[in-house]
Amino acid sequence: MVKNMADIAVKKFQKRYHGRYLEYVNWPLNRAVVLGDIGKWSSGKVFSREFNMDSLGFKVEIRNGATISSRELEGGITRAYKAAGKAPVYNSALLAAKAGVSLAMKKGASFLLEAQTLRTEIVANMTALEKALVNMGKGADWWQHRVVITSILKAEVATAALTFSDNQRVDINADVTTPVPFQLTDISANLKLAYKGEGTSVDLVVEGPVVAFQHATLRKGRWYQSWEVSQLALEANA
């Protein structure tokens, strides 16, 4: 897999998600992200954590935001479900005795995200955070490449898949008693990955992940030409 193809796929996934929800996907879902994290926002649109504000002695206060029952986003995927005891989907790794689903992902950058019971956490002391960031004394060049996490969206459980090349497939088996169709976040279905193409990344039934986040950057006012303490402000990234 060419690294550039992976970057392109993540960027397309991020663009669709951000366009819908005005947040950024935490990819992959098993990446640990907490409020007050500072790190690089790479060309592939993946956040790479470097440190948290608590290591500088600053405690981020948390304010609980909205609770969302579910969230879904999908593009370029066709699902074929199979009931227990029925003939497996053609050319799939699904077991005849179990229920299952085969995901055909025809185009590179096909994606899927399902998440259940999501809760938002937001930095409550933004003014104090801004002051603490200014006091770090980092210059414009340093901040040009780094962001701070100001909001996260946690899910009770989530499943995500992303392809980096064309004509990929993912096969998922479920318990015998599972009715179809089923949700790809159904913990009771005991979902197991039977097969995935080499150009596909899958996070199946991840419990307690940070699904998405919002971030901000310390910037000078657009009308200023120098990097002075009195001119700095914490600005949300669109």
- pLDDT, residue 224, reads 53
Domain ranges across the chain: 3-236
Contact between residue 39 and residue 146 where contact means Cβ atoms under 8 Å apart: yes
How far apart, in whole angstroms, are the C-alpha atoms of residue 133 and residue 8? 32
Chunked into runs of 10 residues, the chain (238 residues) has average pLDDT values of: 73 93 93 96 87 96 95 95 93 95 92 97 96 92 93 98 94 97 97 96 96 92 63 82
Q: Kindly tell me the number of DSSP H helices and DSSP E strands found in the chain.
A: 3, 13
- pLDDT, residue 179, reads 96
- pLDDT, residue 226, reads 66
How far apart, in whole angstroms, are the C-alpha atoms of residue 225 and residue 164? 41
SS3 at position 182? coil
Contact between residue 202 and residue 161 where contact means Cβ atoms under 8 Å apart: yes
| Token pair of 217 as six digits | 């950057």
Could you write out the DSSP letters of every residue in 115-144? EEEEEEEEES-HHHHHHHHHTT---HHHHT
- pLDDT, residue 43, reads 72
- pLDDT, residue 173, reads 98
pTM of the full predicted structure?
0.90
- pLDDT, residue 225, reads 57
How far apart, in whole angstroms, are the C-alpha atoms of residue 114 and residue 126? 30
Contact between residue 50 and residue 38 where contact means Cβ atoms under 8 Å apart: yes
How far apart, in whole angstroms, are the C-alpha atoms of residue 168 and residue 23? 27
Contact between residue 37 and residue 52 where contact means Cβ atoms under 8 Å apart: yes
- pLDDT, residue 2, reads 47
SS3 at position 195? strand
Q: What is the DSSP letter of 167?
A: S
CB atoms within 10 A of CB 197: 17
- pLDDT, residue 1, reads 45
- pLDDT, residue 103, reads 97
- pLDDT, residue 234, reads 87
Q: Furthest-apart CA pair in the chain: how many Å?
A: 70
